[in-house]
Amino acid sequence: MNGPAAPPLIRLRGVTRVYGTGSAEVQALRGIDLDIAEGEFVAIMGPSGSGKSTAMNILGCLDTPSAGAYLFRGVPVHQLDRDQRALLRRAHLGFVFQGFNLLPRTTAQENVELPLLYRGEPAASRHRAAREALDAVGLAGREGHTPAELSGGQQQRVAIARALVTRPTVLLADEPTGNLDTQRGREIMELLAALNRDRGITVLMVTHEPDMAAYARRVVHFVDGLIDSDHLQAAVAAPAVPEPA
């Protein structure tokens, strides 16, 4: 006899987000319900102004709901204060952005070490963890290169390594291929798919591009602050060891 189903990693219930007041009020989210299981790869899509980025900011503990509940492993995130949300973010969440956000005159290894430096980890363990993370994204041997010495695809790999170095439960990727050409974008998506499949990291990705969303197992589509559709799809197979861009 099967036991009870595991609760979702993430649960949103009746989440709204309102900005401004009076005539300037904007309802970015109008009451959304969303469950995400551990180990899923979810693409979040929708036109500009649909609420997808607002939802992503709430999931990443960068913003808070105006009303409703956000539970992370049963913890009521919507009731946490700023410092408690920061602790949850630091312990469980990794972020990848469209613009890479690398320090320009800092080596790949030093960029990847930054989250561990903020945690106060000793230098030796920081160096080891950063090298392992760079190796995991196909950049072994490029630890000493600055962003200017790397291609756009390689810079995004450094950004992914920086997100991975803290061993997050969830990787939140905001338009991770938006600044890349089609081939480099596919390589980054293959890498994210491999990390999801081989390491069990939950991946939540905002994208405008259907070709990139095709790598996800599930697509959630936002329209006008509501979830318009939520469906599973056959994900694109990714190589176990992506080649560096």
DSSP-assigned letters across all residues of 207-245: -S-HHHHTTSSEEEEEETTEEEEEEE--PPP--SSPPP-
Spatial distance between the Cα atoms of 121 and 140, rounded to a whole number of angstroms = 22
Computed over every residue of the chain, the mean pLDDT equals 92
Q: Is the pLDDT of residue 242 over 70?
A: no
Strand pairing class (170-174; 202-206): parallel
Check pLDDT > 80 for residue 2. no
| Predicted pLDDT of residue 191 | 94
Q: Which domains, ranges and CATH numbers included, belong to the chain? A: 39-65+92-232 (3.40.50.300)
Q: Give the rounded percent of residues in the chain with a pLDDT score beyond 70.
A: 93
CB within 8 Å of 179: residues ≥ 6 apart: 98, 99, 100, 152, 156
> Average pLDDT of 3-15?
87
Question: Does 159 score more than 90 pLDDT?
Answer: yes
pLDDT tens, 49-73? 999 999 999 999 999 999 999 999 9
Strand order in the sheet with 41-45: 93-97, 170-174, 202-206, 41-45, 218-223, 226-232
Total-model pTM: 0.90
Query: Tokens 């949300």 appear where?
Result: 85
Question: Looking at residue 8, what is its pLDDT?
Answer: 95
Q: What share of the chain is helix, strand, coil (3-state, %, to 5)?
A: 35, 25, 40
Name the band, by pLDDT with cuts 50, 70 and 90, for residue 99: confident
Task: Give the span between the Cα atoms of 86 and 60, in whole angstroms.
Answer: 10
| Cα–Cα distance measured from residue 152 to residue 55, given in angstroms and rounded to the nearest whole number | 27
What's the confidence (pLDDT) of residue 7?
Answer: 85
Q: What is the pLDDT of residue 1?
A: 52
Q: Residue 4 above 90 pLDDT?
A: no
Tokens of 5: 């189903």
Residue 196 pLDDT > 90, yes or no?
yes
pLDDT tens for residues 197-226? 999 999 999 999 999 999 999 999 999 999
Place of tokens 């102004």: 49
Question: Is a pLDDT exceeding 90 seen at residue 241?
Answer: no
Q: Determine what percent of the chain is predicted with pLDDT higher than 90.
A: 87
Stretch 119-138: mean pLDDT, rounded? 94
